[in-house]
Amino acid sequence: MSNQFHNDLIHQYKTTCNKLKKIQRVFFKQFAPNVSEVADEFGTLATNFNNSFLPEYAALCFMGQGKCEKLIGNETAEVDALLKAARAFRTAHDKQTNIRTDNRTSDCLEGAFRCYTHALSSLPEDSVAKAAIIRELREINPNAEITSNFSSPSHRIWDLEQSAEDSIRAVDYVAAFEKLSEIYDDITERRCAELYPEVMKRVEISRLLLLCLLQLPPSVRYDHKFIERYSTIGDSDTGSSQTGIIPEELFFLLQSLVVSCQSKNVASLVAVRDELSHCKQLTESQQLLLKQLVSKYCK
């Protein structure tokens, strides 16, 4: 789009900001601009800025919209506008990072952080929305010391899985296995595996790959019965039909993987790796573990 169009949008933004300032000065007086109309103007401008690939200005407009909603007393709309502002700031940061070559930290991340924390301050401690916002905030600031009292099995599973992913990236396989086992044990103890079939499948595969990487002796192995299910090819009593977690074809591939590791058969391990590398049922982190597993045995 032309520079003139961008200039016109920026002029409209400044005009709308002046309306907001007037509202803030004379809110309880006659002739103050209609707050809802100004909020709508900010919302429209944000959309136009986004369509013009100017997310940093869209973020500022969403912030203005949030201020209007606060004046109206619409807390839900205020939080929604602040979240849109935070996400627009993050988009602007990504855009600037792609353009720059000096890796300087963008002020946009600070803007996103402020919007997230402002949104959090408007929500009760036990709000599910607050827990979700904290997750987004930690994507840009993992060390943020912000917590929520909201707790549910699904949120706990998500947190533990994310923590396990972090441990895998840090090559701390023991910690990753322990966190995934905590998910498995929690779901099993509550006897609600049927409610989390995909979670159980992810956890099962990841734990198996981690145990193969750890190469623990029987005396200290975390769950010998777990890995024994995959140790004997052709044993119908230990197959996937008994657990119902892993599809049969994938189960037999994982069995071949475990047996190849235990027998240190590199050629067989590489062959199984080639088949599993095309398996869409494996997550990105599981594919990473698979590559690291083959590298370990091929040294």
Distance CA 2, CA 171 (A): 49
Lowest mean pLDDT among 103-112, 186-195, 205-214: 103-112
- Find out whether 50 and 75 touch, Cβ atoms under 8 Å: no
* DSSP state at residue 104: P
Cα distances (angstroms) measured from residue 239 to each of 96, 185, 247, 253? 52, 20, 10, 12
Q: What is the pLDDT of residue 6?
A: 73
Read off the pLDDT of residues 214-247 as tens digits, 9 standing for 90 and up.
876 555 545 556 777 887 665 544 444 345 688 8
3-state secondary structure of 244: coil
- 82-91, 208-217, 234-243: range with highest mean pLDDT: 82-91
Q: What is the pLDDT of residue 121?
A: 87
Cα distances (angstroms) measured from residue 103 to each of 87, 94, 233, 236? 20, 11, 51, 56
> Residue written as tokens 């597993």?
293
Read off the pLDDT of residues 97-148 as tens digits, 9 standing for 90 and up.
887 644 445 789 899 999 999 998 888 776 778 878 888 888 888 777 676 6
Q: What is the pLDDT of residue 241?
A: 38
- Find out whether 209 and 246 touch, Cβ atoms under 8 Å: no
- Find out whether 233 and 258 touch, Cβ atoms under 8 Å: no
Taking the CB of residue 220, how many other CB atoms lie within 10 A of it?
A: 8
Q: What is the pLDDT of residue 56?
A: 93
Distance CA 177, CA 185 (A): 12
Taking the domains of the chain in order of start, what are their residue ranges?
3-118, 153-297
Lowest mean pLDDT among 4-13, 94-103, 200-209: 94-103
Q: Is the pLDDT of residue 94 over 60?
A: yes
Q: What is the pLDDT of residue 149?
A: 62
Cα distances (angstroms) measured from residue 172 to each of 28, 176, 266, 277? 59, 6, 24, 22
pLDDT band at 33 (very low <50, low <70, confident <90, very high): low
- Find out whether 293 and 212 touch, Cβ atoms under 8 Å: yes
